[in-house]
Chain A
Amino acid sequence: MPDTGLDFDAALSFGGFELEARFSVAEGETLALVGPSGAGKSTCLGIIAGLVPPRAGRVVCGGEVWNDHDHGLILPPERRRVGMLFQEFALFPHLTLQQNVGYGARCRGRSRAEAEAVASRWLERLGLGGLGERRVAELSGGQRQRGALARALASEPRLLLLDEPFGSLDVATRGSVRSELRRFLAEFGLPTVLVTHDPVDALALGERIAVLEDGRLTQVGTREQLLSAPRSAFVAELAGLNLYRADLADGRGLKEARASGVSFHVLADDHHGPAFVAFAPAEVSLSRERLPGSAQNAFLGRVLEVRPLPDRLRVVLDVGVVLVAEVTREAAAALGLGAGRPLWASIKATAIHVYG
């Protein structure tokens, strides 16, 4: 559906940096643009929003040409109808929340009363009703994020751009805000480009994931496509995440996340029902005997495979599900690693990400 979505094709040189990328986002789809910092992700957003002029290429959104280098066209940002969510939200500190949300309507020539009505509607819709008179300084991190989203949506955008939307939130709020954002994105059905350096955010929110490394797209695909067939070191790292679909239930103190074949004890106060459970291989400790102490998750399994990485070993185990661990070479020698060997795998509950 190229008529309602976004088609992006642009090149840019800046100092020694070269960016060349091409992707499209369908109506209602969320594309996660993920990659290490300095890869050019935010620059892509800047090009889409009209804040950065590209060296070449075309950007078309909703059938409207925003950039066309061959015809010398660069539409200014205020005429593009993008809703952009900034890293630290960029809410205007001298205005109330309501005035922030109504700002776009005022820019498009609405009267003050109309802008206030629009703002109230969006505040209500994002669960911020009654907070309209507050100033930015009087809002919590989560409220600011919703306020920034309300402001972006109230300007009637054709496209949403999210630049590291969780960057300034602490770990505790991050999880709940992430699942909240996921729900809103599904509800509003706008084509969305999410920029993040965090694979967990990309996996949680992106229906398709585009991996940008050093100014080039190294892989674009669905979560499953990426995880099953990584085509670059970054994706391999990303794929190396242990990721399971699970059902959350109340356990003793901690929540219990039941995946097919195994249950994890996790910290997830805000979640119920179906969720994703993810943790990094480096968070898994391997031992011959069950470890005494604080790890809330311990599974006995068999080694399926040992893969060497530049500075350590990646161990694939079967503990009822397939689980990947990483150990140093010294540790591997001490464990006497080899296929078929029984080992205990321990993971702390705090090391497990849970997201809806």
Chain B
Amino acid sequence: MPLPDGHAGRPPSSLLWLGAAPLVFFIGLPLVALWLVSSPTELVRHLSSPLAVRALWLTLKTTLVATALAVALGMPLAYLLARVPFRGRDVVDTLVDLPITIPPVVAGVALLLAFGRRSLIGRQLDVLGVQIAFTSVAVVMAQVFIASPFFVKAARAGFEAVDGRLETAARTLGASPWRVFWTITVPLARPALLAGLVLAWARALSEFGATMMFAGNFPGRTQTLTLAVMTALESDLETAVAISALSLALAIAALLAARLAARRWSAPLA
């Protein structure tokens, strides 16, 4: 008979609920407030303002590109960190964590210093007539910088959890390393990869500080939803609220999508 799984060792449920409830309410209340402030029809009306539409469109475009880049560039790095022991792995590991921990505004300043017009790279590009800072490209770069570590961390954990013996078995059955990666490693890590992808997208969606510093706040070009909220806040509170509510809806959709995807593909067919 299996032993009971440690119920005996935990504090009474009533006390736990009492302790847990404040945080649940503290997080839940403001989010609910966002939606209770205005009616759905009002929300839709405010969201159809040119400011909101342009910001939404730009946000979708930039965040999707940024997420795709985070996945494409993050996958090799995550695999490297998970599977290949090398000198300086800790250094690279810490480096990848930094964008999560530094203030986004600081990240924006750093990006500006590296890629801005007067930077080493920026000057070369300027000669060719290319400018990065204060363009949509800068928006995407800021998002990749801030969001890709979320994908890398999740993907790394996912790759680490794949049993290496399965990969070995696949090799003995005639699969090249490349084939093993796509038919064994990636499918088995898929729930983690999807979770990482959604986290990265959600983080790109909420990017503000780095974008503000590196890309500025130009409607239609660099003004994403978060920046639009700030702009609207100065003149039109209701539009700001509407855009905020929309952002919240997107975040909830992302989390639901991640859950569904993990369930659908955790046991995928080949």
Residues of A within 8 A of B (CB): 49-51, 76-84, 86-88, 90, 92-96, 99, 103-104, 107-108, 135, 151-152, 155, 161
**Quick one: closest A residue to B176, CB to CB?**
A78
CB distance from B73 to the nearest CB of A (A): 25
Is B184 in contact with chain A by the CB < 8 A criterion?
Answer: yes
Bound Cα distance A71, B136 (Å): 56
Chain B residue numbers with a CB within 8 Å of A82 are: 172
Q: Does A90 contact B165, Cβ atoms closer than 8 Å? A: yes
Task: Write out the residue numbers on chain A whose beta carbons fall within 8 Å of the beta carbon of B268.
Answer: 94
A84-B175 Cα distance, complex, nearest whole Å: 13
For A92, give its contact among B166, B172, B174, B179 (CB under 8 Å). Answer: B166
Identify which of B165, B183, B270 gathers the most chain A CB atoms within 10 Å of its CB: B270
* Contact of B173 (CB < 8 Å), options: A51, A96, A151: A151
Which residue of chain B has its CB nearest to the CB of A103? Answer: B173
**Pairwise interchain contact B270-A77, C-beta atoms closer than 8 A:** no
A/B pair count, beta carbons within 8 Å: 71
A51–B171 contact, CB under 8 A?
A: yes
Whole-angstrom CA separation of A340 from B147 in the bound complex: 85
A47 to chain B minimum Cβ distance, whole angstroms, is: 13
Residues of B in contact with A (beta carbons under 8 Å apart): 163, 165-166, 168-176, 179, 183-184, 187-188, 267-270
A77:B188 contact, CB within 8 angstroms: no
29 contacts between A and B (CB under 8 A): A49-B172, A51-B171, A77-B171, A77-B172, A79-B174, A83-B172, A84-B169, A86-B165, A87-B165, A90-B163, A90-B165, A90-B166, A92-B169, A92-B170, A92-B184, A93-B166, A93-B267, A94-B187, A94-B267, A94-B270, A96-B269, A99-B269, A103-B175, A107-B170, A107-B173, A107-B174, A108-B174, A152-B173, A161-B172
> Are A90 and B169 in contact (CB-based, < 8 A)?
yes
Select from chain A the residue with minimum beta-carbon distance to B165: A90
With A77-B171, A107-B179 given, name 7 new contacts (CB 8 A). A77-B168, A78-B175, A92-B170, A93-B166, A94-B268, A95-B269, A103-B173
Q: How far is the CA of A86 from the CA of B269 in the complex (A)?
A: 23
Q: Which residues of chain B come closer than 8 Å to A80, judged between CB atoms?
A: 172
A-side contacts of B267, CB under 8 Å: 93-94, 135
When distances are taken between beta carbons in the complex, the residues of chain B under 8 Å from A78 are 171-176
In Å, the complex CA distance between A161 and B171 comes to: 14
CA distance A49 to B172 in the complex (A): 7
Distance in angstroms from A58 CB to nearest chain B CB is: 20
Instruction: Pick from A88, A103, A161: contact of B165, CB below 8 A.
Output: A88
A103 touches B188 (CB 8 A): no
Pairwise interchain contact B173-A95, C-beta atoms closer than 8 A = no
Interfacial chain A residues near B171, Cβ < 8 Å:
50-51, 76-78
How far apart sit A328 and B245, CA to CA, in the bound complex (Å)?
81
CA A135 to CA B270, docked complex, whole Å? 12
* Residue among B166, B172, B176, B268 facing the most chain A CB atoms (10 A cut-off): B172
Q: How far is B223's CA from A151's CA once the two chains are assembled, in angstroms?
A: 56
B172 touching A103, Cβ below 8 Å: no
Interchain CB contact under 8 A, A107 and B175 = yes
Q: Kindly state the separation between the CA atoms of A152 and B270 in the bound complex, as whole angstroms.
A: 19
| Chain A residue nearest in CB terms to B170 | A103
Q: How many angstroms between the C-alpha atoms of A92 and B171 in the bound complex?
A: 13
User: In chain B, what residue has the closest Cβ to A115?
Assistant: B270
Q: Are the C-beta atoms of A90 and B168 separated by less than 8 Å?
A: yes
CA distance A78 to B168 in the complex (A): 10
Contact A99:B174 (CB < 8 A) given known A92-B166, A107-B179: no
Question: Within the assembled complex, what's the spacing in Å between the Cα atoms of A50 and B176?
Answer: 13
Interchain CB contact under 8 A, B169 and A99: no
A155 and B169 form a contact (CB under 8 A) = no
Contact indicator A104/B165 (Cβ below 8 Å): no
In the complex, residue of chain B having the shortest beta-carbon distance to the beta carbon of A104: B173
Looking at B175, B179, B188, the one whose CB has the most chain A CB atoms below 10 A away is B175
Provide the bound-state CA to CA distance between A108 and B270, in Å.
16
CA A80 to CA B175, docked complex, whole Å: 11
Complexed CA–CA distance, A50 and B172 (Å): 8
Contact in complex: A104, B174 (CB < 8 Å): yes
**In whole Å, how far is B192's beta carbon from the nearest beta carbon of chain A?**
13
